[in-house]
Amino acid sequence: MQTTQMLKGIIDGCILSIIQEGEVYGYELASKLDDYGFESFSEGTIYPILIRLQKDKLIQSTLKKSTAGPKRKYYSLTEKGEGELASFHMRWNQLSNTVNQILHKGE
Amino acid sequence: MQTTQMLKGIIDGCILSIIQEGEVYGYELASKLDDYGFESFSEGTIYPILIRLQKDKLIQSTLKKSTAGPKRKYYSLTEKGEGELASFHMRWNQLSNTVNQILHKGE
DNA sequence: GAGTATACCTTGTTTTACAAGATAGCTAAC
DNA sequence: GTTAGCTATCTTGTAAAACAAGGTATACTC
């Protein structure tokens, strides 16, 4: 049981939340997640999630020139994505309350 | 993306925590988790996890007679399990801080 | 034109969550 | 004594997720 194995599904919500703050592209997202403390997210994790989120119509993308390197694919939230993010907020609150209750029962 | 899909790996820690409070058997654990708010954990989820935790030597079991029905397999934490639980506490705190930071960035 | 950094994507493996169903013990009622 | 119902555990099979590893391509600098 490692840190990263706890995150399944939660990353989706975090990614949606970061995208909501402003358009980002995958490569940038990887370093943002790293800054936040998610150290173990390689691009092999992030790109498939972005593709899945777009397939589910939660995010949309536009290509823009990079200052150095190939074109960047910038993502932004769709309306459906905003709804999903709001729903994730509630699920996360409930989850974290439940887990905290279990972990701190005896205190 | 449903509630239960966020829980991967976290349930392990919650189960360890509940077992630490006192010996429990699988069937009882299912209803305890339900009481705490994890509504969607069937026995098909819980028993395989118990088996895995025991295989990893984090918990140990003893059979005891039931008042009604077949014998119950009571689980308790091993020393290794207590270490893992402590480690889970830290991982959970870090995770929940990180996620809360991301979700409440703009507030 | 070689090297380096940027940027994206794919493949294959392992683990997880879970639904569904199999198995079996005990008690009570009939 | 057998049926019904609750208790209790376990197995099988499926789908999805996380990830490591590797592949491809663009642009800048020297």
Question: How close B30 comes to chain A (CA, Å)?
Answer: 14
User: Quick one: tokens of B68?
Assistant: 């009604």
> Using 50, 70 and 90 to split pLDDT, how confident is the model at B1?
very low
Residue A2 pLDDT level (bands cut at 50, 70, 90): very low
B44: Cβ–Cβ under 8 A, 6 or more apart, which residues?
A: none
Q: Where are the alpha helices (DSSP H) in B8-78?
A: 10-21, 26-36, 43-55
Please report the pLDDT score of residue A49 as a whole number.
94
The pLDDT, as a whole number, for residue B38 is 84
Secondary structure class of B102 (helix, strand, coil): helix
Query: Is residue A67 pLDDT above 70, yes or no?
Result: yes
Structure tokens at B1: 């993306």
Do the Cβ atoms of B8 and A9 come within 8 Å? yes
Find the DSSP H helices in A5-78: 10-21, 26-36, 43-55
**In angstroms, how far is C11 C1' from A82 CA?**
32
Angle B79-103/A79-103 helices, nearest 10 degrees? 140
Lowest mean pLDDT among A8-12, A71-75, A90-94, B18-22: A8-12
Contact B107, A20 (CB under 8 A): no
Residue among A1, A89, A101 whose CB faces B36 most closely:
A101
Most A CBs within 10 Å, among B3, B4, B6, B16, to test the A interface: B6
Whether A5 shows a pLDDT value over 80: the answer reads no
The number of distinct structural domains making up chain B is 1
CATH of the domain at A87: 1.10.10.10
Which structural domain range is residue A89 located in? 3-103
pLDDT at B20 over 80: yes
State the average pLDDT over residues A28-42.
86
Q: How far is the CA of A5 from the C1' of C15 (A)?
A: 9
Q: Report pLDDT for A102.
A: 92
Q: List pLDDT tens digits, range B21-75.
A: 999 999 999 999 988 888 767 888 999 999 999 999 999 999 999 888 899 999 9
Q: Would you state the pLDDT for residue B2? A: 43
Q: Do B105 and A37 touch (CB under 8 A)?
A: no
pLDDT of B107: 63
Residue A10 reports pLDDT greater than 80: yes
- For residues A69 and A71, give the distance between their C-alpha atoms in angstroms, rounded to a whole number: 7
Mutate to test the interface with A, among B91, B102, B107 (most CBs of A within 10 A): B102
Helix, strand, coil in percent for chain B, rounding step 5: 60, 15, 25
What is the mean predicted confidence (pLDDT) over B4-13? Answer: 76
- When the pLDDT of each residue in chain A is averaged and rounded to a whole number, the result is 88
A6 CB less than 7 Å from any atom of strand D: no
pLDDT level of residue A105 (50, 70, 90 thresholds)? confident
Query: Rounded distance, CA A73 to CA A13, Å?
Result: 19
The H or E element containing residue A81 is: helix A79-103
> Does the distance separating the beta carbons of A92 and B1 come in below 8 Å?
no
Q: What pLDDT does A23 receive?
A: 95
For strand D, give the nucleotides within 7 A of a protein CB. Answer: 6-13, 16-22, 25-28
| Long-range pairs, B80-85, Cβ under 8 A, ≥24 | B80/B56, B81/B16, B81/B19, B81/B20, B81/B53, B81/B57, B82/B20, B84/A1, B84/B16, B84/B58, B85/B13, B85/B16, B85/B17, B85/B20
Contact B88, A99 (CB under 8 A): no
- Round and report the angstrom distance from CA (A69) to C1' (D24): 13
**Band of pLDDT at residue A4, cut at 50, 70 and 90:** low
